[in-house]
């Protein structure tokens, strides 16, 4: 087993290493932060970067072993099949399953849960039966059970959390009764980052005969999993969150349960005998649940990812991740503006894994995430596919920093310094806006003015600051005008749009948003369309306008789609 050395471990990840030529400037003076387009990747909870061995495995398979598995008698197919099944055995060992038959390949955690719900849930649940879900679950472990409950008449019960964000054991025990058939829970939440008392929860559920489904998507990369020790009935996870490829997932299920479940999908490989004259019979485990040609290259590459992880001392990795977590958490905790602490963490206490969620007082989550992106820092903002949890926490969303073992203390320091600079610039922007005395250009000149302003700036961080300044100039809508009727659907943040048309058929639009970055983008869009006729609005080349500004290519897909949704709304209203 290799000793874990952070610098050498990091060198195995080419996408991270390729950006190291752009040195992070970590100085106490905020003016010393360089805008040299580094990559500080703090979105590992969404997906991790891939090591060379995983990338090389893909290339190697298609260059030397590309053939379908299980079905052909030629040597190339045998070679592919051997590698494919070897990866299955690696997973079996990795989570300590009893048999390779208990390892089912899927596309990811989401499909694994859907398979359990649609196959097992639909088979056993009936009117009045109860399914318990933890309040902190990801949508992927909520929606499939809602669909099955709708179809079967089962009832969903919610397990509450304690003050630290873990499933509350006494509250959970009160939910249990003879009607409880299924209990589903994440090993740990993708927002809270606290390890749930899984072993205790499983044993309590078993005391009333309930089947247990554990979502390990966030857990498997951070600490060892032993499915026999925790005695769960099902355990699911994805390859891409543990340095493996996308499009590959694992469903572990106890063999006795899998044997009783009907197939999830029909097609090749999952059958034993098909006839029009007699009943179709199905293949043995695990192939009964693997219809069609699988992601062969991905599965084999996942085997390499497991081999890669298993080669290192897990305790040393976890200790390093713990130190990163403490360093980042304390730095955020100490963040202040005018001697006032502005960070609020989603729950009390240090998280158990390097997943830190928080909000900044007086700042929209999307504004901060976009500003950080202009410095090359990738974090997550939004509801993180956990809307019920956000509702419970009484917030619309939050910021998430999720770290991996290839991240560094220097990157955390750079992140904190950039955050300080962004907050300082916000104050400067407010002052600049106040000194503008409300002077606005005439609307017919507005789009040209915006283009002129953007032509003077080259870097994305400078353009981001320009957008934020423009947002300060947008006239806010009255609160009464911000309602369901004026809401723009398809926009990542809340945004509203109203219009007036004068007797000369000239349209004038007003818009608003709860996010400052969106208000800036709204200013840019309205500059293009305001005080024009319907014909002029339809004829305006918005794509060329955005390209001239160098705008869309720097926005996330969801934000870019949101801007296009605003454009569509304006054109629709003009019609």
β-pair type (271-273, 281-282): antiparallel
The Cα diameter of the chain in Å comes to 84
Phi-psi bin for 96: left (phi > 0), alpha (psi -120 to 50), beta?
left
Contacts of 530 (CB under 8 A, 6+ apart): 443, 446, 507, 508, 509
Alpha-carbon distance of 28 to 284, in angstroms, equals: 63
Q: State the DSSP code for 269.
A: S
Alpha-carbon distance of 233 to 223, in angstroms, equals: 20
From the list 385, 418, 433, 491, the catalytic residue is 385
Catalytic residue at 185? no
Return the closest-CA partner of residue 569 out of 529, 541, 515.
Answer: 529
Sign of CA dihedral 255, 258, 260, 263: negative
For 435-461, give the DSSP string.
Answer: TTTT----HHHHHHHHHHHHHT--SHH
Peptide bond between residue 286 and the one before it cis (omega within 30 degrees of 0): yes
Alpha-carbon distance of 210 to 154, in angstroms, equals: 14
Alpha-carbon distance of 370 to 463, in angstroms, equals: 11
Per-residue tokens: 414 = 């750079």
Phi-psi bin for 115: left (phi > 0), alpha (psi -120 to 50), beta?
alpha
User: Active-site positions?
Assistant: 385
């Amino acid at each position: 087993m290799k000793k874990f050395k952070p610098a050498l471990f990091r060198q195995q990840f080419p996408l991270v290493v390729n950006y190291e030529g752009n040195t992070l400037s970590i100085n106490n003076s905020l003016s010393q932060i360089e805008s040299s387009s580094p990559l500080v990747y703090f979105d590992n909870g969404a997906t991790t970067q891939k090591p060379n061995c995983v990338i090389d495995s893909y290339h190697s398979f298609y260059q030397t072993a590309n053939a379908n598995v299980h079905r052909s008698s030629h040597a190339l197919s045998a070679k592919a099949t051997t590698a494919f099944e070897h990866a299955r055995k690696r997973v079996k060992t990795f989570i300590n399953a009893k048999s390779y038959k208990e390892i089912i390949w899927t596309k990811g955690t989401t499909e694994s849960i859907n398979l359990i719900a649609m196959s097992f849930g639909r088979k056993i649940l009936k009117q009045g039966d109860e399914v318990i879900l933890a309040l902190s679950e990801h949508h992927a472990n909520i929606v499939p059970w809602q669909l099955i409950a709708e179809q079967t008449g089962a009832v969903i019960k919610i397990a509450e959390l304690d003050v630290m964000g873990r499933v509350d054991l006494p509250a959970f025990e009160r939910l249990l009764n003879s009607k409880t058939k299924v209990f589903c829970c994440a090993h740990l939440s993708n927002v809270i980052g606290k390890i749930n008392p899984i072993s205790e929860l499983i044993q309590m559920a078993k005391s009333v005969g309930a089947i247990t489904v554990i979502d390990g998507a966030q857990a498997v990369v951070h600490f060892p999993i032993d499915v026999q020790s925790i005695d769960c009935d099902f355990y699911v996870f994805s390859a891409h969150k543990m340095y493996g490829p996308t499009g590959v997932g694992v469903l572990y299920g106890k063999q006795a349960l899998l044997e009783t479940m009907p197939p999830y999908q029909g097609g090749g490989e999952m059958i034993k005998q098909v006839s029009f004259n007699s009943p179709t019979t199905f293949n043995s485990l695990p192939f009964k649940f693997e219809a069609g040609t699988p992601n062969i290259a991905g599965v084999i590459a996942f085997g390499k990812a497991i081999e890669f992880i298993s080669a290192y001392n897990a305790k040393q990795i976890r200790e390093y991740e713990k130190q990163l977590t403490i360093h980042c958490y304390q730095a955020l905790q100490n963040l202040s503006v005018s001697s006032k602490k502005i960070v609020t963490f989603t729950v009390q206490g240090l998280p158990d894994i390097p997943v830190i969620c928080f909000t900044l007082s007086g700042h929209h989550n999307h504004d901060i995430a976009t500003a950080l992106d202009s410095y090359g820092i990738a974090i997550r903002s939004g509801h993180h596919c956990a809307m019920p949890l956000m509702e419970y926490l009484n917030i619309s969303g939050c910021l998430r920093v999720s770290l991996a073992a290839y991240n560094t203390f220097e990157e955390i320091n750079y992140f904190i310094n950039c955050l300080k600079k962004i907050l300082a610039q916000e104050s400067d922007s407010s002052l600049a806006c106040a000194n503008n005395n409300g002077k606005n250009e005439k609307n017919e000149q507005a789009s040209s003015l915006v283009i002129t302003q953007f032509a003077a700036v080259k870097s994305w961080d400078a353009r981001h600051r320009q957008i934020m300044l423009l947002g300060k100039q947008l006239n806010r809508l009255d609160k009464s005008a911000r309602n369901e009727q004026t809401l723009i659907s398809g926009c990542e943040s809340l945004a509203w749009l109203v219009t007036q048309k004068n007797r000369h058929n000239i349209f004038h639009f007003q818009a608003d948003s709860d996010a400052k970055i969106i208000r800036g983008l709204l200013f840019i869009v309205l500059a293009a369309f305001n005080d024009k006729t319907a014909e002029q609005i339809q004829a305006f080349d918005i794509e060329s306008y955005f390209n001239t500004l160098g705008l869309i290519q720097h926005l996330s897909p969801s934000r870019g789609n949101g801007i296009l949704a605003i454009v569509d709304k304006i054109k629709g209203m003009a019609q």
